[in-house]
Copies of this chain bind each other. A is one copy, B any other.
């Protein structure tokens, strides 16, 4: 079978969930194995070390990112609105992966930092292609980043104040192009 075994996927998914929900420190081999429903030995068969687990997350993330970039360049609403809208989407597979990669980056995993840097520059390029102005493109990126930062922080302030106001925000995005 060319397809990777189900247990491997379960381990990766458990690790990502732990990174997102409880942070890098809590994402131990034991906790990951337990959440995946396997033993520590079982986990270490599929991922020989902690580092291998991180590599697995990053590779899996790259696939989701590729899909997202393709879609972003094709949607009729335009790259900017697509970017801000999807930045506010929580619990998508892409979002879970990116939060996990961010946690790894903050824990000092170099390849995770490099991936985030690369993804951001690719998003920026697509937005710049649409809006045609560097400053406006930066503004759009920062709004999405801010949104993402809030949503990626459990129990964040947004939940009480921002909830339900996303549409109003999205309506403002196309108008940003009129600035200057």
A-side residues, CB < 8 A to B, are 22-26, 102-103, 105-108, 113-114, 116-117, 120-121, 124, 134-136, 138-139, 141-150, 153-157, 160-162, 165, 168-169, 172, 175-176, 179-180
A132 to B143, CA, bound (A): 19
The 8 closest A-B pairs by CB, nearest first: A142-B146, A145-B146, A120-B157, A146-B146, A149-B149, A135-B168, A23-B107, A117-B157
Of A22, A136, A172, chain B has the most CB atoms within 10 Å of the CB of A172
CB-based contact A161/B121 at 8 Å:
yes
Q: Which of B103, B117, B161, B168 contacts A106 (CB 8 A)?
A: B103
Question: Which chain B positions have C-beta within 8 A of A124?
Answer: 157, 161
Decide yes or no: A156 and B108 within 8 Å by CB, A23-B24, A165-B138 being known contacts. Answer: no
CB-based contact B179/A172 at 8 Å:
yes
Question: Which chain B positions have C-beta within 8 A of A141?
Answer: 146
A139 to B147, CA, bound (A): 9
Question: Which chain B positions have C-beta within 8 A of A136?
Answer: 172
Q: Which of B114, B169, B180 contacts A138 (CB 8 A)?
A: B169
CB-based contact B165/A172 at 8 Å:
no
Of A26, A114, A121, A153, chain B has the most CB atoms within 10 Å of the CB of A153
CB-based contact B116/A157 at 8 Å:
yes
Distance in angstroms from A161 CB to nearest chain B CB is 6
A69 to B146, CA, bound (A): 20
